[in-house]
Structure 1
């Protein structure tokens, strides 16, 4: 009788302990690389995502050798020393998988550094285009605000694949963004691993 009572008291607590240990094994971090910008644009984009809740996370992105999406042609640049840092808050809308599926992400991005284009072009008031070579070094200090949307696939709760687009508005047009325009759009084909 004492053994049966002991098993009835201890066995449920052992089962609940197993369930709690399984819950604690949920991966809370992810390292992501944007393969599209790496291959097409020559940019080195690395991201870290920290999952806060089932449907929310914070992402910090670093873009080394950064360029605007309109300047992916690397022959246009003689020297690029531009680094960008972006912070975004992700809202996921999936009920089935944790931190996967369709997402919406407002962001704030700082871009700093300098680059030297191999040519500089401008238009006069009549729409005529003029080219000057070589271009002078331009400082880049820009603050960009916008949002991103995308979809993230998750395989075995470990590996993620996703597609995204970020659209932002340059809040201070100076130097580089004076030539490239007041807005910026980025495409992403992302691959990540959770740990």
Structure 2
């Protein structure tokens, strides 16, 4: 965990998430697109919940999680530390909103809370973060035989996005079909 990195993001939210919620959703969907690209195609669902939270669910491999020498689950620390492939890396991938990809730590740091549910062959876990800081360990959940990731988060005071604008941007990935489920109150 990199508290200094998370604080830097929180001090400059519109630098790291220009466009607010729209950019955060694109950061999460980019990981589903990575999975889809490695599998030759995929699908994810973006749900806009009535409480202002958003979830992105895919059926990829799930986030790399392994057991340590004591049999405890350990996963990549992508939520609470820099993704060195993207964050402040020259020539990084540009997301469909025209802004650079920075990684999941931006989403976690700029969210009041984020719950990461991860299903892989051989196990399933969930973990909760508040402003990017893990507040639970990896908690095992029932393995239902599926794989994939659900990132459910509630952004902390960032501007939203219109349905049409978000739908247009989400259709930008050729290898990933994206469904939008808007459950917000009208």
* Shorter-chain TM-score tier: under 0.3
Larger RCO (CA within 8 A; separation ≥ 6): 2
Higher helix share: 2
Normalised by the length of structure 1, the TM-score is 0.25
Normalised by the length of structure 2, the TM-score is 0.26
Larger radius of gyration: 1
Higher strand share: 1
